[in-house]
Amino acid sequence: MSVPTLAADQSVRAPLPVLGRDVTVPLVTGGEVTYAALDYAASAPALQRVWDDVAAYAPYYGSVHRGAGYLSQLSTDLFENARRTVADFLDCRTGDQVVFTRSTTDSLNLLAAALPDGCEVFVFETEHHASLLPWRDARVTCLDAPRSPRQAVEILERALADRTAAVHEGHGPALVCVTGASNVTGELWPVRELAAAAHAHGARIVLDAAQLAPHHAVSVTGLDVDWVAFSGHKLYAPFGSGVLAGRADWLREAEPYLAGGGASRRVTRREDGGVDVEWHDGAARHEAGSPNVIGAYAIASACKALTEAGFEALAAREERLVRAVREGLADMSEVRFLSLFGDDAPRVGVLSFVVEGWNSSHFAAALSAEYGIGVRDGLFCAHPLVRTLLGGDARAQGECGAPEAEPGEKSLNAIRVSFGAGTPDEHVERFVRAVRELVRDGARWNYRTVDGRCVPDTSA
């Protein structure tokens, strides 16, 4: 079977130019090649537009919220305008808060710190660790991996119904945490239906949109979720910034996530030598310290760029790229794609797979060293899910990104290829050709494991 070429009447260029698109990297076999960055699910490259916007602002950088100078006033306006841009991007409700954080992980830990006493959290074992692990101080019910969107809703409804039937003294509120798109399989989850199930049983729901927001429009209002969290570095704005947006009441009633300047409205000394603090009620309550203005501005710039490009067009192009990968490897019986909901399930530009006879770290190393293609291998910070998909024990331990076997030996790890609005068609075509050649002919170089990573053996 020949490698399919993406339709000639379709643009082969990425719709949104990104930094690094012309970077060349050396090959272990000799020469150089333009780097194919196909690890968007971990960190997407920055949009050129985002970089240009940040560079244009940089000379005017100043402190925010209390500075009297012109640059401080300019920076404050820019920071708060970025908040409004994000609220519009997420189609937030009137009264919702947009809190700037460091990442999705930080956002969900912030929400975890704001949970009312006695809150019970329901989370599927399929979640990324960012949404699986923050709830340490709550009572957590971990739900089994569903095998269809409908089953996901049924599993949640049963769990919430059992909770309602077992009302006891001190019975507190409930929160459901769910992903919008899997960082392992790319599959879209039935968020609106899960939100309806949660609300029908008096629970709230938070959406981990880290993998969804870069690929599809996310409407807090339309999906009827209570909160949404995402990261800038997956949204083409990699500056250590993130967002938690949604209902204000739990955030307003909780102790500040960090104690410090900016979160406090008034601080006074007491006669006993201590201090009394009156905290802000709004987003500033959980944004203590000097905020990451550049990070917030970068997220807002990316939100504008994605909105103007049009999510329908971006999603349609990604569907075509996903189809090119799957069809290009369809006759390779050695290649097995991982899926919860089935091969035809709607998904974003994320695909994970294993190759018979290959250690996944070895395969990923060969793609990089011999073809200049960057993918991800390991358990993708979703250990229970990957182990379930690979037929292992979801409760077993494993290291993220570290091979458990030498090259050629079996390993319970997988390979992930992911792409987005900055991916040229040629990178996807090259990936398909490279996978086919490696499966057919094997690696052209020897590899060894060093510090948990498979690398080319240059000792000879």
Confidence of residue 137 (pLDDT cuts 50, 70, 90): confident
Report pLDDT for 115.
Answer: 97
CA distance 312 to 361: 35
* pLDDT tens figures, 275-300: 999 999 999 999 999 999 999 999 99
Confidence of residue 6 (pLDDT cuts 50, 70, 90): very low
Q: What is this structure's pTM?
A: 0.92
How deeply is 267 buried, as exposed, middle or buried, from its count of CB atoms within 10 A (0-12, 13-18, 19+)? exposed
- CA distances 450 to 154, 267, 406, 458, Å, are 45, 53, 10, 12
Q: How high is the mean pLDDT of the chain?
A: 92
Is pLDDT of 353 > 60?
yes
Q: Looking at this protein, which amino acid is placed at residue 183?
A: N
Report pLDDT for 453.
Answer: 87
Among residues 456, 434, 455, the alpha carbon closest in space to that of 445 is found at 456
Least reliable range by pLDDT among 96-110, 154-168, 306-320: 154-168
Q: What is the mean pLDDT of residues 303-326?
A: 97
- Between 7 and 339, the more confident residue is 339
Report pLDDT for 75.
Answer: 96
Report pLDDT for 201.
Answer: 95
Confidence of residue 395 (pLDDT cuts 50, 70, 90): low
Confidence of residue 9 (pLDDT cuts 50, 70, 90): very low
Is pLDDT of 407 > 90?
no
Q: What is the mean pLDDT of residues 304-316?
A: 97
Report pLDDT for 393.
Answer: 56
- 381 catalytic per annotation: yes
Is pLDDT of 322 > 90?
yes
Hey, what are 377's tokens? 């291998």
Report pLDDT for 12.
Answer: 57
CB 456 within 8 A of CB 366: no
DSSP 319: H
Is pLDDT of 378 > 60?
yes
DSSP 48: H
* pLDDT tens figures, 194-252: 999 999 999 999 999 999 999 999 999 999 999 999 999 999 998 899 999 999 999 99
Is pLDDT of 405 > 90?
no
Is pLDDT of 169 > 90?
no
Hey, what are 231's tokens? 């990261």
Given the residues 92, 177, 303, 381, the one annotated as active site: 381
Report pLDDT for 248.
Answer: 97
Is pLDDT of 429 > 90?
yes
CA distance 55 to 207: 32
Say which residues have a Cβ less than 8 Å from residue 340's Cβ, sequence separation at least 6. 126, 145, 146, 147, 182, 185, 187, 385, 389
Please report, rounded to a whole number, the percentage of residues in the chain having pLDDT higher than 70. Answer: 92
Q: What is the mean pLDDT of residues 294-316?
A: 97
